[in-house]
Every structure is written in C-alpha cells, then in structure tokens.
Amino acid sequence: MLIFMSYPSSGAAAPIAARPGVLFLALSAVFGGVCAQAQPLLETQVPMTVVTAARAPQSAQELLADMSVIDRATIEASGATGLADVLVRVPGIQMVRNGGIGNTTSLMLRGADTAYTAVYIDGIRFSSQSGSGGPTWESIPLAMVDRIEVLRGPAAAIYGSDAMGGVVQIFTRRAEHAFAPSLTVGAGSRGTLRAQAGVSGVGGVDKAWDYALDIAGERSDGFDVRPSRNPDRDGYKSLSGAARLGLRINDSHQLRASLLASDIDAGYDNSPRLGVDDRTKHRMHAAGLEWNAQWSERWSSVLALNASQDRYETTPTAYLSTTQLRGLSWQNHWRVGAQTFSATLERREDALQNAPVDRERAQNALALGYQWHADKQHLQGQVRHDSDSEFGDKQTGSLAYGYDLTPQWRATASAATSFRAPTLYQRFSNYGTASLTPENGRNLELGVRYGAGHDTFSATAYRNRIRDQVSYQAGARGCASSLGCYVSVAQAEYQGLTLAAATRALGVRWHGSLDFNSARDGSTGLYLTRRARQFGTLGASRQIAGWQWGADVQWSARRFDDAANTKVLGGYALWNLSASKSLARDWKLLARLDNAFDKHYETAATYATEGRRFFVSLQWTPTL
C-alpha cells in the first residue's frame, strides 16, 4: 500500500460531501487533470509505527513530519524494475534518467538536488563521493526491497550531512512465519525476463532466531537510449541478493545482521561510432550489524556497525570510481510519561578512489532529541553537533509542533536547518576546489492533515533556502582546469505545496497527489533544470469478478533542460493499466500495461525514454 501519512481517526467515515479526499480528487480532475502513476492496490490505513521521522519506532499518531510509506504489495503490483520508478509515484518526487534501467538516475525530492536526499538501507548509509555525490539510485536493487519510508523535508538534525531535502529509508525482507518460500517469474516487452526466489523463517528454542534470503536476476534487450547518437538497442542485465539473520538472546536483547549486493551491467550511448557498445557496470555492497537492547521499561538502545561500497565503471571508455562508507552509531531513547528523550553518538567515514583522487574524511556527531505528546498538542525538537575532519564544527536543529483541531484534523508547523559537506571529488579531482565550504539550508513549512476511516488528506507548504551551494562552472576564474571547476557561489530556493489524498467511494479506491513546485536559482531567479513546476498522480482500482483492476496516470508539466531556461522539455501524461488475480491458493498472476498510449517524452534532452511496455508475472507464495 502507498500511504499518505495523516492523523488517523477511529470514528465512522464522513459523508461523501464532507470528505476532503473526495473534494480534492474531484477538483484535481477538473482543474488540469492532475494525474499520475499510482498503485493499483491502495489501502489508506496507516501502519502502527514508522522509524524514519525520529530515527526510532514512532506511533503514526505521534507523527508530525510529511511522510509516505510503500509496502511490498505495492512494489510488486507496480511491475517496476527500478527503485526510482516506484519512488517517482510518491508525492513530491520527480525523476530524471539518462536513458533506461541502469543508466544515471536522479530523484528530486521537493525539487531539491538528488544529492540532498539521504538514503539508508536497513539502517546502512548509502551514497557516493564521486561527482556531485548523492545516492546512485540505479544501483539499488528493487527486487530486495520490502518496504520504503519517504520523509519529505530536511532532517540533518537527525541524520547529519546530506539530508537537506529529505530521507529515503529502505528495508529488506524479514521473516514472519516458521518457513516461507517464494518464487516469482515474469516476462515482458523488449525481451525482458525476470526471476526472483526467496526463503524466510524462524526457528530455535522459543523461535529465538530468524532468517531471510533472496536472490533475483533480470535481463532485457532494452531500447535505443540516444537515437540521434548511436542507433542500437541498449539492454541491461542485473543480479542481486540479500540476507538477514536475527538472534533473540532474551526478551531484552537482539542481534541482527544484514547483507546486500547488486551488480548491474547496462548499455549507454557515449560514442557516435556504430558498433561501439558503451557499458556501465555498477556494483554495490552493504553490510550491517545491530544490537537492540531494552535495558528497562523506559530505556532502550541500538548499537550499529555498518559499511557500504559503491563501484562505478565504464567501458570501452576507461573510467572507475569507488566510494566506501563506514559507520558506527549508538542510539539511546528514554520514555518518561508523555515525553521521549534521545541521545545518539555517531561516526561516519568516507573514502573515494577516483584517479587521481585517493582521499578519506570522517565526521563525529552528537544528536539530542525530545518529543512530547499530550492531549491535543505534540512537540518534537532535535539538535545535532557534527565535527568534520576537514571543515570543523557544524550545528543543526529542528523544531516541529502539531495541534489537533479535531479528532480528524491536525495542523503542523516546523523549522529546520541543514548542511551538506562537498564531496571528495568536488574538492580534490582535476575539477575540484580544495577551499570549498559546506552548503547550508533553512526550511520552513506548514501543514494540515485529515484522517477518518478510509479518507485521508494532507496539504504541506514549504520553503527551503540553500546558500553556499556547490556547482560546476565552466571557465570560472582560479580553476586548475581550463574547462572549469566546482565553486561555492550558488544560491537556491525550493518552495511549493504538496497535496495528497485517498478515499474509497462508489466501490472504487482512489488516491492522488498534486505538487506545485518552484525550484529557482537564488541569484538569477531562473528555474533550476529538469524540474516541472506542476506534477501529480491519480489512480483508481476496483475488484470485479475475482480480478483486481487498476488504472492510473502520471502527469508532469514542461521543464527546462538548461540553466538559461531556453531549452524546453515538453510535459507529458503516462496512462497505465493493471490487473491481478489469485489463480489458486498459492498462485497469483499480475499483468501491467505502462505508457499505454506510447507517449514519447524526455526527462533529459537527447535521452529517450521507454515507450509502451507490457509485463506479466506469476508469483508462488505457498501457505504452510
């Protein structure tokens, strides 16, 4: 289920005329046909807990942040191959991809640069120190993902450097039953073949240990990524695996270990010469170990040690970049009545090997948090001190307040500061500037949410200003390279409004979102590249004759492909259809038709996007 986090109510659903979700969806259809790729299967009941907003389990009723949650059923129903193809259906997110699956992919959360989103996989930090940095979305295997939490808005006071636009937290599968095997096979257009197998279970005395193992492979002939440059098919192949092991020592102490690996080999058109097969080979590994302890009824802690590696290589053009991250954290939480106190000690180490760069740096941090929930009022505050081995000390903070206007309505307000350290590549490569300083941000936002039965609605207005932004400038003075270098002179402002709603009416499940986003260069007032000022989603699904039928559309207004705002990328609407059915007790069939009208569009100039796409899969999940 794709969930728009709203304050829940146990009361009866309101009449249709009084439902904000119904009114929003109706207005969306009338004023501009907002509409977007949404999931064919939607439930609007929020989960019991989320962890990303406070970096610890938190009741949905205590939530003040603007969040979305995606579960495994929604991921499978989407028929998507890439993680970005799922996330782009979440409110507030836009995607730019230089071609197809496996090619360079950027996600802009609330219009912010892709490097301004912090990504965690099972609590393991994942990022790159190459180029402008940020997560390499194309290398994260969607097949291993069980659940995703998306936090919109800066969270540097909780997570440190990079979380200037938001946080995406990814969770792989955990065991739920004594023994549970699964198998999925699928085929689609352009020679796409996919297979995934997994097994999970619990065992031992009093079910003291649990495990989950998954492996997946995929290949596709692909499509021509750059028809004007090198007319050929640019296919891809991938292999990924994940393993999780848990041990419950006693009722108060648990150990958890996780491993994740992914290899993807994708074609891209770099050379204009016919017969040249340009390839990107992307490999990512991640490993983590956690000790969860409940020391008393009030005090709990999590000690975590983790590491990740991101390796990017191209052929026949020789290029190789490897980023290694290591982390150690100790989180502590105390609950005293309606109050929760938290304290976290954390160390992060970054290393980059990208000739001629071979550098490392480290950050040590102390973060303190406070939450208070009483009657109609809710308060959450965070402060964090980071000590960087290169830049010295940085302080960030955030404060959020919520008030329950009624049992169904909640109003929120928050303010936060953030920062991001330049990448090692931006400082020490041939195009680097060693004197670069951290980027700094300030964010303000106001929100209102509604929840009653199956109806949810949220509206969040925000303004996020970034100063000392690092950008590449060709021909800038003082550069070691005559081609240009990275400088800390840019300013940016991201402001907008995100609307999201879900309801069940006339036997149909509806959900949608609409974003108004203005991402501008603070110095020139021009719009930042490849970001639409309006985009949205709308989807509907219904069960008929044992089949779950869905229809949805993804809509985006035009964008500019250059900083001068002279090259226009046209807007588009992508219509999608889906159908699924349980064939027997343990078997399920899923079929999808994406971009049903074969819309031709671009998210980056000269890079093609996939046309009409069909995919069908068969899933075996025995009930033992």
Q: What is the 3-state secondary structure (H, E, C) of 343-391?
A: EEEEEEEEEEEECCEEEEEEEEEEEEEEEEEECCEEEEEEEEEEEECCC
- Predicted confidence at residue 81, as pLDDT, reads 79
Distance CA 618, CA 583 (A): 10
- Predicted confidence at residue 5, as pLDDT, reads 55
Terminal Cα distance for the chain, rounded: 24
DSSP one-letter string for 49-95: EE-TTTTS-EEGGG--SEEEEEEHHHHHHHT-SBHHHHHTTSTTEEE
DSSP secondary structure letter of residue 558: -
* Bridge partner list, 278: none
Per-residue pLDDT tens digits for 120-179:
999 999 999 999 999 999 999 999 999 999 999 999 999 999 999 999 999 998 887 789
Give every CB contact of residue 218 below 8 A, 6+ residues apart in sequence.
Answer: 81, 143, 192, 193, 194, 195, 236, 237, 238
Calculate Rg over the CA atoms of the chain: 24
* Tokens standing for residue 454: 């199956």
Distance CA 245, CA 257 (A): 5
How far is the CA of 116 from the CAs of 78, 282, 469, 578, in angstroms? 26, 21, 11, 33
* Tokens standing for residue 499: 């609307």
- Predicted confidence at residue 476, as pLDDT, reads 75
Nearest partner of 300 among 260, 251, 349, 261, judged by Cα = 251
| Exposure string for 510-538, b = 16+ CB within 10 A, e = fewer | bbbbbbbbebbbeeeeebbbbbbbbbbbb
DSSP one-letter string for 577-600: EEEEEE-SSSEEEEEEEESTT---
Helix (H, G, I), strand (E, B) or coil at 292: strand
475-489, 566-580, 603-617: range with lowest mean pLDDT: 475-489
Asked whether the predicted pLDDT for residue 549 surpasses 50, the reply is: yes
- Predicted confidence at residue 335, as pLDDT, reads 94
* Tokens standing for residue 88: 């782009």
Nearest partner of 242 among 209, 210, 216, judged by Cα = 216
Per-residue pLDDT tens digits for 240-258:
999 999 999 999 999 999 9
Mean pLDDT along residues 209-223: 95
**Cβ(348)–Cβ(306) below 8 Å:** no
Asked whether the predicted pLDDT for residue 586 surpasses 80, the reply is: yes
Asked whether the predicted pLDDT for residue 32 surpasses 70, the reply is: no
Report all structural domains of the chain as residue ranges with CATH numbers, in order of start.
2-620 (2.40.170.20)
Mean pLDDT along residues 226-234: 86
Helix (H, G, I), strand (E, B) or coil at 115: helix
- Predicted confidence at residue 38, as pLDDT, reads 32
* pLDDT averaged over every residue in the chain: 90
Q: How confident is the model at residue 7 (pLDDT cuts 50, 70, 90)?
A: very low
Instruction: Give the rounded percent of residues in the chain with a pLDDT score beyond 70.
Output: 92
Q: How confident is the model at residue 30 (pLDDT cuts 50, 70, 90)?
A: very low
Question: Phi then psi for 224, rounded to 5 degrees?
Answer: -75, 110
Helix (H, G, I), strand (E, B) or coil at 73: helix
Distance CA 393, CA 574 (A): 47
Asked whether the predicted pLDDT for residue 216 surpasses 70, the reply is: yes
Q: How confident is the model at residue 436 (pLDDT cuts 50, 70, 90)?
A: very high
Residue with tokens 């207004």: 557
Mean pLDDT along residues 4-24: 46
- Burial category of 435 from C-beta neighbours within 10 Å (exposed 0-12, middle 13-18, buried 19 and up): exposed
Distance CA 119, CA 282 (A): 17
Mean pLDDT along residues 433-442: 94
Residue type, 261: A
**Cβ(183)–Cβ(126) below 8 Å:** no
Distance CA 83, CA 36 (A): 17
* Tokens standing for residue 582: 């349980």
- Predicted confidence at residue 6, as pLDDT, reads 52
* Tokens standing for residue 466: 């970034």
Choice between 307 and 206, residue whose per-residue pLDDT is larger: 307
Mean pLDDT along residues 482-502: 93
Chain center to CA of 190: 27
Length of the chain: 624
**The dihedral sign for the CA sequence 261, 265, 268, 272:** positive
Asked whether the predicted pLDDT for residue 25 surpasses 60, the reply is: no
Q: How confident is the model at residue 3 (pLDDT cuts 50, 70, 90)?
A: low
Distance CA 316, CA 336 (A): 61
Mean pLDDT along residues 29-57: 53
Question: Checking phi first, is residue 89 left (phi over 0); if not, alpha (psi -120 to 50) or beta?
Answer: alpha
Nearest partner of 12 among 451, 589, 557, 431, judged by Cα = 451
Nearest partner of 554 among 613, 495, 507, 615, judged by Cα = 613
Q: How confident is the model at residue 350 (pLDDT cuts 50, 70, 90)?
A: very high
Residue with tokens 């006339």: 506
Choice between 414 and 8, residue whose per-residue pLDDT is larger: 414
Helix (H, G, I), strand (E, B) or coil at 72: helix
**Cβ(244)–Cβ(212) below 8 Å:** yes
Distance CA 164, CA 178 (A): 41
Give every CB contact of residue 289 below 8 A, 6+ residues apart in sequence.
Answer: 255, 256, 257, 304, 305, 306
Nearest partner of 469 among 448, 502, 492, 446, judged by Cα = 492
